[in-house]
Amino acid sequence: MNPSSPTPGSASAPVSARTLREHSAAVLGRAGVPDPEVDAELLLGHVLGVSRGRVQALVVMDAEVAGEDAERLRGLVERRAAREPLQHITGRAPFRSLELNVGPGVFVPRPETEQVAQFAIDALRAIPSPAPVAVDLGTGSGAIALALATEVPHACVYAVENSPEAFIWARRNIDEVGTTNLTPVFIDLADALPQLDGTVDVVISNPPYVPDDAIPRDPEVRLHDPHAALYGGPDGLDVVRTISRVAQRLLHPGGTLVLEHGELQGAAIRDLLTADGWRAAATHRDLTTRDRATTALR
């Protein structure tokens, strides 16, 4: 079988969930998709409108799936085998406690960013003010800003984005979640929010930080994530330099900056921030023990 071979069954004949899962995982595995069994179960769950756990239960029970659903799954598996991101196919991406709308034109939030957001959440929760202020520079889908706004509901959060395509996704997610303490702002981050100068408690950003000549290996990233959300100049730190200046302007003395970055950039970012006058620059590892975030104090 090749990635375009049909799923067992037809539009009229039901197929067992186990057969569908095994066939789909085999197709995805041959296409080089990481964790093909996981994606097979998630795609089947998407077709059936059930959770991955429910799919696993259906597999154990050897339950039958309608032929129409099996045919629909075949088309989705073909798309995933062509390395279209799973999140683009389902239209959804999990982030902490949220399920976000994503698709072409916006960066798909990654699990490692969930831990980066925790640094900002912890900083906000530690502030004695009844209404601490946070700014997410380059919000993309709105993932980080929404996490801050929903998990620290007494905070006032601003989500800054300058990509029209990404801003549409952010507005859609903000509207769907329905939080009232989050303000989306369409503006270049270098010019963001002068009315808040010197009053912000926390600035966080997951900026583009891939060096221009470091082409990502994964086709899902290389072919589908917006280039403006990936590449940050010759050393990957051009946007970080801008954020350092903007955050110095926005934060009050003692305010916290949180930056996500690549695993080899921690030392360079600490040096950059220290040279700009930041205090206590410290780099933190993610759950895979890779350097992932740097924090500093105004």
Do 37 and 129 share a structural domain? no
Do 195 and 132 share a structural domain? yes
Q: How far apart are CA 204 and CA 128, in angstroms?
A: 19
**Residue range 236-268, pLDDT digits in tens:** 999 999 999 999 999 999 999 999 999 999 999
Domain that holds residue 156: 95-297
pLDDT greater than 90 at residue 34: yes
Contact 189, 208 (CB under 8 A): no
Q: What is the pTM of this model?
A: 0.90
**Residue range 271-296, pLDDT digits in tens:** 999 999 999 999 999 988 999 999 99
Do 105 and 228 share a structural domain? yes
pLDDT greater than 50 at residue 10: no
H/E element holding 156?
A: strand 156-161
Number of compact structural domains in the chain: 2
Please name which of 218, 191, 189 lies closest in space to residue 204, comparing C-alpha atoms. Answer: 189
Do 27 and 135 share a structural domain? no
Query: Residue 285 — left, alpha, or beta (φ > 0 → left; ψ -120 to 50 → alpha)?
Result: beta
pLDDT greater than 80 at residue 3: no
> Taken in order 240, 217, 147, 96, is the CA torsion positive or negative?
negative
Do 167 and 35 share a structural domain? no
CATH number of the CATH domain containing 103: 3.40.50.150
| Percentage above 70 pLDDT, the chain | 96
Do 293 and 163 share a structural domain? yes
Q: Would you place residue 214 in the very low, low, confident or very high pLDDT band (cuts 50, 70, 90)?
A: confident
